[in-house]
Amino acid sequence: MDKDRFAGAAKDAAGKVESVVGNVTGDAQTEASGRAREAAGTVQNLYGQAKDAVRDASDAAANYARDAVDSDIYRDGTQAVTKQVRDNPLGALLVAGGIGFALAMLLTRPAPRRPNRWGY
């Protein structure tokens, strides 16, 4: 758990106590200060929860990626590609060049055409 969650919960509780004391004594300023502290505590608690959620999601993604890299399917695929490249380096070079050319054609756009001067 994040320290912001603990600090936010403490501020929230202190704000509630302060607002109740202000309400009981009839001091509007103390009650308003308590409500403000309670709101600040709630916001800090929510911030801590969001940080925990992001940390958990990043840990899960890292574990998923680590498992994918360690899997036998990935290892077998890379070994097959390595063997194919070693057996036929010229063919691998031509395939890589073709893929690069195709990507370049897809990612570049042609120059904009000028509109027809006479409208047809």
> What is the chain's length?
120
> How far, in Å, CA of 118 to CA of 120, rounded?
6
If you write DSSP's letter for every residue of 29-94 in order, what string do you get?
HHHHHHHHHHHHHHHHHHHHHHHHHHHHHHHHHHHHHHHHHHSHHHHHHHHHHHHHHHH-HHHHHH
Residue 78 domain-assigned (yes or no): yes
Predicted confidence band at 71 (pLDDT cuts at 50, 70, 90)?
confident
Residue 102 domain-assigned (yes or no): yes
Residue 6 domain-assigned (yes or no): yes
Predicted confidence band at 86 (pLDDT cuts at 50, 70, 90)?
very high
pLDDT at 110 over 90: no
pLDDT at 43 over 70: yes
What average pLDDT does range 103-120 have in this prediction?
80
**61 shares its domain with 96:** no
Residue 120 domain-assigned (yes or no): no
Residue 96 domain-assigned (yes or no): yes
pLDDT recorded at residue 120: 62
**Count of domains observed in the chain:** 2
Residue 85 domain-assigned (yes or no): yes
pTM, to two decimals:
0.53
**94 shares its domain with 104:** yes
**58 shares its domain with 27:** yes
**88 shares its domain with 64:** no
**56 shares its domain with 82:** no
Q: Are 39 and 15 in contact (CB under 8 A)?
A: yes
Q: Which domain holds residue 54?
A: 1-70
**78 shares its domain with 63:** no
pLDDT recorded at residue 111: 75
**31 shares its domain with 89:** no
